[in-house]
Chains A and B, each alone.
Chain A
Amino acid sequence: EAGVAQSPRYKIIEKRQSVAFWCNPISGHATLYWYQQILGQGPKLLIQFQNNGVVDDSQLPKDRFSAERLKGVDSTLKIQPAKLEDSAVYLCASSEGLPNEQFFGPGTRLTVL
């Protein structure tokens, strides 16, 4: 069974530029999560989708971050404009349903200069 796929794996941008990350969850998984992990910290949930509906986006900085999961399968997370403090690893995870075991992708390491 294929795991959670993410791209790109690495991205370096200048501050104020925009960037987008892509995630393809495990086939059949209804729930998709985006996390931000800053070095030395645990992952922080940014947004959680159930199919193509948002379940929780309470920690998403909505002035600069946006995410969509239009067809209930893959998802895109965008940052516009990026700030230095956005430098982190962005992790995508999926699960069969809302409270079930999560499976993570390899992450995208973002460096903002």
Chain B
Amino acid sequence: EPEVTQTPSHQVTQMGQEVILRCVPISNHLYFYWYRQILGQKVEFLVSFYNNEISEKSEIFDDQFSVERPDGSNFTLKIRSTKLEDSAMYFCAKVTAREAFFGQGTRLTVV
């Protein structure tokens, strides 16, 4: 059973629309990360979320992005006013000092 489950697996949205990507951890872990991988490119860090607060964010994570833990278990990544260049795989990961466990990812396609 995966450590982290993400929904949806694939989302197609029109440019300018808002999307919400969801991540559900199996265990009650405090430290979660969001990564992005544009097709054919490397896995890029977006943001880390610790104990209901943003711990660190990259330059990619601008005002268009936000993260929340709305109900104490699920984690969400919201992208406001999507752009074509937001098309990518978005991975949620449970991270420890020994390993990063990735969810299956959400493939976001902005058209």
A is bound by B: no
Binding site for A on B (CB under 8 A): none
